[in-house]
Structure 1
Amino acid sequence: GKDLSMVAPDGQILDREAVIDHVRASRASCDDGFAISIEDIRPGWQDADTIVVLYVEAQLRAGKHSRRQSSAVFTTSSSAPNGVEWRHLHETWLQVPER
């Protein structure tokens, strides 16, 4: 959504434009050795229109593994794909990418 914000694993706070730029740059820098898996998905706080979802994101990039604990806030939106809009994302390193 237009109000999307993100706290990156390094503590940076990104607005929607910065998140989109970050994703595009990451995608452009990836070769075929890139994979993401989502694990340990758990619902958190919720009400009629909002839910917090907790999960672990595991990445494999150029043979290096990393893991981050994530929480995301979604709200219902009739105009959004799949009927939900991503409002906030917070990621914390569990395993920093290997050097």
Structure 2
Amino acid sequence: MRMKKGDTVVVIAGKDKSKVGKVLQVLPKVNRVIVEGVNMVTKHQKPNPRTQQGGIIRHEAPIHASNVMFFEKKANQGVRVGYKLLQNGEKVRVSKKTGEVLD
């Protein structure tokens, strides 16, 4: 997957299209990511001894990784991500639009 925890991404498809948020969690086995403030769902939760509180709780649900794109602040838009090998043999992510190293 080209996304990492902490990356800023923009949603390019779905009900939350054009929203920008930070990646909270990456789920590579199912090819999904959880983005802050995107794909919010409501859950009705009963009170229990551990949480002590019930009610309607809103939280983020996973979104498919193909529906998000890395957000570059310089370009102020989503950019595609590629990989490049440096002279010392290190593999880094680069922006396909500007060619700058993202890591």
Which interval holds the TM-score relative to the shorter structure?
under 0.3
Give the TM-score normalised by structure 1: 0.23
Higher relative contact order (CA 8 A, sep 6+): 1
Query: Bigger radius of gyration, 1 or 2?
Result: 2
**Larger fraction in helix:** 1
Normalised TM-score (structure 2): 0.23
